[in-house]
Amino acid sequence: MKNSIFIIPLVLFLCCFTILSVCEAAGEDPCADQGITVRNLSLDNKWYKSQGDQCIPLKRNYSFTIHPKENIGVFLDMVCETQFCPSLTYTDYKLSDKDGNCRVKILPGCVIADM
């Protein structure tokens, strides 16, 4: 009887751990539908993003959303020719989203960090 006091919680814990591990291993991406929100936290308003043929001002504290299979470049000029950082994909931003809240920030020096 004394052993069952310890065995039952242990078995329940192992079952829960196994279920959570299987769900995590399934690789579900909670950000895939809504995309990842990217906020510009540069020191100035000179950044632009290019999506297709558009070159759009990316002002300080401005946010945009990137979805899977999108590719967004961050540039230093209004004609989107001088790259600030290499063209980044959804996967690049996803790797920086450590807490899984689908939000990251771009810091000076093209540093992508969790928000």
pLDDT tens for 6-22 read 566 544 454 444 444 44
- What's the average model confidence in pLDDT over 52-61? 82
CB 49 within 8 A of CB 64: yes
Tell me the two tokens of residue 55: 């070159």
pLDDT tens for 64-87 read 899 998 888 888 888 888 888 888
Q: pTM for the full model?
A: 0.70
- If pLDDT is split at 50, 70 and 90, which confidence band does 26 have? low
Helix/strand/coil for 17: helix
Q: Both ends of the chain: CA-CA distance in Å?
A: 50
Rounded Cα gap, residues 69 and 89, in angstroms: 7
